[in-house]
Structure 1
């Protein structure tokens, strides 16, 4: 069911390069959320971060400094903000 949901809602395939420069992982589906909402001491606020979500079976995790490439744009991983064992979301910044 999860695979079907991601197949319907995805924003396309991406490539991930870890900060150590290992062989890139390519061709996994991602969901891209602009203006990511985060919880802070004063409640929910909108950030300039981009949330990238993927199936954990396709990429176990992403580390700070890793880079996602999607639709010709590069996204630098700042931190993993959600991991329920099936799906993982990383907060990223658009990189030049």
Structure 2
């Protein structure tokens, strides 16, 4: 039931499918359905603040993990993974920077 709920959430909120490439020419995973959140809110020493990072969220069933330095290609944009900020075992969110 939980997997069905996550599938429905992603189906309604997704921005589309991205391609993930692991760092150093590693594995490539195509068709990862992603939710992209610009101006990601993050916790810091002064509390919650709006950052320049982009949050990318996906279902763990489609991509088990993203490594620092990995790249999500979505449309004309490329997002470099900085760090995983949440992983509840079903959905993962990574803070990414737009690759120039």
* Pair in the same fold by TM > 0.5: yes
Which TM-score bucket, shorter chain as reference?
over 0.9
How far does the alpha carbon of each residue in 1:41-77 deviate from its partner, in whole angstroms, 9 at most, with x for none? 1111000000000000000000000000012100000
Runs (5+) with no aligned partner, structure 1: none
Q: CA RMSD in A?
A: 0.8
Runs (5+) with no aligned partner, structure 2: none
| In the alignment, structure 1 residue 79 sits paired with structure 2 residue 79 | no
User: What is the TM-score with the length of structure 1 in the denominator?
Assistant: 0.96
Q: Equivalents in 2 of 1:44, 1:22: separation in Å?
A: 34
Q: Equivalents in 1 of 2:71, 2:60: separation in Å?
A: 16
* Aligned position for 1:23: 27
State the aligned residue count.
96
Alignment match of 2:15 (pick from 11, 19, 32) = 11
User: What is the TM-score with the length of structure 2 in the denominator?
Assistant: 0.93
